[in-house]
Chains A and B, each alone.
Chain A
Amino acid sequence: MNFINRDVISISDFSKEEILFILDTAEKIENKGSFGLLNDKILAVLFFEPSTRTRLSFESAMHRLGGRVLGFSDYLSTSTKKGESLHDTIKMVENYADIIVIRHFLDGAARLAADATEKPIINAGDGSNQHPTQTLLDLFTIRKLHGKIDTLHIGFVGDLKYGRTVHSLAAALSHFNVQLYFISPETLKMPKHLLEELSAKNIQYIVSDKIEEFIPKLDVLYATRIQQERFADRNEYEKVKDSYILTKKMLHDAKPTLKILHPLPRVNEISRELDDTPYAAYFEQAKYGVVVRKAIIGLLAGVYK
């Protein structure tokens, strides 16, 4: 499978085989030394919107491959403020780097960047649209923790309406034989068109606003943050904000193998008392972000095959 110079813009650009190949590559290199592999390569990391976690994860991945990193993490300090178009910014940066990672506050920015250059572009989040490396690391984490993806019961809880990570992960999981549960307040339900796409691929799912009754069935619970700004009515927010906080008590009937994931940062949706339990997998998930991004960068650069 050839990934050299490919763009990584949207999870929907990748077939099931390609997704598995990326996961397999990450698995293969996980405990292998990689220093110096990319010592003549430069990764540009262009963050038009701050996201410290994602940026550090990409930079760590590139450093571990022995490559160099340049870029910016503050939109205010770039010339875009002075009116330079994204197209022109990319045309400039392509002279300085071999692979370009972009995070942008506008939907579609990564695709535009990819069209502006022959150099491979990795989308590290474009507005509320896509964040494919997050989806790949989520899949990697699930497979790593359970040894498989097929036949798992996977629940999503929190803001399922605006949650980009949830939408992409659900779409990627539709390549597999899984049972999905979408648990959220009425106002933050999974968008109808995404549910229709799951139905079209014969994925079984349940939509509910109650979490307790589904806990015993789950192998994975993917939690996301409920943000106050998503609510027009403050009372509505107050009513639902604490209803999905995961606690030890709530997990009383959970399978011992249940794993809780979260794209981080969390606020209060997962009680800290769970951090030391075997359910907590969110920090491990963040760790796997580096190896998955190493795999992706290495595949695009052609050092992993």
Chain B
Amino acid sequence: MNNERKHIGFIEQGTVIDHIHNESIFKIIRILKLDYSQALVFVGFNLDSKRISKKGLIKIEEIFLDDETLSKIALIAPDATINIIKDSKVTEKKKLILPDSFQGLMKCTNYNCITNKENVHTKFLVQDKINRIFQCYFCETKIHDNEIEIIREIKEKT
């Protein structure tokens, strides 16, 4: 029996985010606000995996993610897979696709950018989905995959 079956609980209805690299697990917990959630959540690190050497996994009971949330996960954990669970069975597997643009999720790396000085949402255009290059909508700075810094608190829209 692999260590996932042995140690991680089962959910009847909900979502499994699988094949997450360890360093992305807490980021996903943050953007899904699972630390404030009332839902039943299982989180696993360093589970056995055929696809990646050690994988992380998050199971959330009774919560189904909308497309916007899925595109956020695509941003920070492109290798993750999404399984929808109904009646304890995987009924659907969803692909993660980067959106063409997204708002308020990560910081602009340019210190002199207006989004770092005034209370405005950041916004990025996805310039290259394969090489994962993003461009700040405001200051036009290009941000590469390894520079992504997620904003924890998503500002309320004014």
Interface residues of A (CB under 8 A from B): 10, 12, 85-87, 104-109, 111-112, 126-130, 193
Please, how many angstroms separate the alpha-carbon atoms of A193 and B143 in the complex? 11
Closest to A106 in B: B114
Decide: A107 and B119 in contact? CB cutoff 8 A: no
Decide: A109 and B114 in contact? CB cutoff 8 A: yes
CB distance from B34 to the nearest CB of A (A): 32
Closest to B140 in A: A129
Please list 23 pairs of residues, one from A and one from B, whose beta carbons are closer than 8 Å in the complex, sorted by A's number: A12-B140, A86-B114, A104-B114, A106-B117, A106-B118, A107-B112, A107-B138, A107-B140, A108-B114, A108-B137, A108-B139, A108-B140, A109-B114, A111-B138, A111-B139, A112-B114, A112-B118, A112-B138, A127-B139, A129-B139, A129-B140, A130-B140, A193-B142
User: Within the complex, which residue of B112, B115, B120, B137 is in contact with A127, where a contact is CB–CB below 8 Å?
Assistant: B112
Closest to B158 in A: A87
Closest to B135 in A: A12
Query: Is B110 engaged at the interface, CB distance under 8 Å to the other chain?
Result: yes
Please, how many angstroms separate the alpha-carbon atoms of A10 and B115 in the complex? 17
Please, how many angstroms separate the alpha-carbon atoms of A108 and B138 in the complex? 4
Query: Is B47 engaged at the interface, CB distance under 8 Å to the other chain?
Result: no
Please, how many angstroms separate the alpha-carbon atoms of A271 and B115 in the complex? 41
CB distance from B49 to the nearest CB of A (A): 35
Decide: A112 and B112 in contact? CB cutoff 8 A: no
Query: Is B57 engaged at the interface, CB distance under 8 Å to the other chain?
Result: no
CB distance from A166 to the nearest CB of B (A): 15
Please, how many angstroms separate the alpha-carbon atoms of A250 and B25 in the complex? 61
Decide: B114 and A87 in contact? CB cutoff 8 A: no
- When A and B form their complex, which 9 residue pairs have the shortest distance between CB atoms, in order from nearest? A108-B138, A107-B139, A108-B139, A108-B114, A106-B114, A111-B138, A109-B114, A107-B112, A107-B113
Closest to B122 in A: A108
B127-143 interface bits toward A, Cβ cutoff 8 Å, 1 = contact, 0 = none: 00000000011111110
User: Within the complex, which residue of B113, B120, B140 is in contact with A87, where a contact is CB–CB below 8 Å?
Assistant: B120
User: Within the complex, which residue of A10, A86, A107, A126 is in contact with B141, where a contact is CB–CB below 8 Å?
Assistant: A107
Cβ contacts under 8 Å, B115 to chain A:
108
Closest to A86 in B: B118
Please, how many angstroms separate the alpha-carbon atoms of A108 and B115 in the complex? 8
Please, how many angstroms separate the alpha-carbon atoms of A106 and B115 in the complex? 9
Cβ contacts under 8 Å, A127 to chain B:
112, 139
User: Chain A binding site: helix, strand, loop or mixed by DSSP?
Assistant: mixed
Cβ contacts under 8 Å, B141 to chain A:
107
Known pairs A86-B118, A109-B114, A129-B140. 19 more at Cβ < 8 A? A12-B140, A85-B118, A87-B118, A106-B112, A106-B117, A106-B139, A107-B112, A107-B113, A108-B108, A108-B110, A108-B114, A108-B115, A108-B138, A111-B137, A112-B114, A112-B120, A127-B112, A129-B139, A130-B140
> B108, B136, B137, B139: which has the most chain A beta carbons within 10 Å?
B139
Please, how many angstroms separate the alpha-carbon atoms of A105 and B113 in the complex? 9
Please, how many angstroms separate the alpha-carbon atoms of A10 and B137 in the complex? 11
Cβ contacts under 8 Å, B140 to chain A:
10, 12, 107-108, 129-130
B13-52 interface bits toward A, Cβ cutoff 8 Å, 1 = contact, 0 = none: 0000000000000000000000000000000000000000
Please, how many angstroms separate the alpha-carbon atoms of A59 and B138 in the complex? 26
Closest to A104 in B: B114
CB distance from A201 to the nearest CB of B (A): 15
Decide: B138 and A85 in contact? CB cutoff 8 A: no
CB distance from B141 to the nearest CB of A (A): 7
Please, how many angstroms separate the alpha-carbon atoms of A108 and B137 in the complex? 8
Cβ contacts under 8 Å, B118 to chain A:
85-87, 106, 112
CB distance from A82 to the nearest CB of B (A): 14
Please, how many angstroms separate the alpha-carbon atoms of A109 and B114 in the complex? 6
Cβ contacts under 8 Å, B138 to chain A:
107-109, 111-112
Decide: B113 and A106 in contact? CB cutoff 8 A: yes
Please, how many angstroms separate the alpha-carbon atoms of A130 and B139 in the complex? 8
Please, how many angstroms separate the alpha-carbon atoms of A111 and B120 in the complex? 12
Please, how many angstroms separate the alpha-carbon atoms of A126 and B137 in the complex? 13
Cβ contacts under 8 Å, A129 to chain B:
139-140
Decide: B136 and A108 in contact? CB cutoff 8 A: yes
CB distance from A230 to the nearest CB of B (A): 15
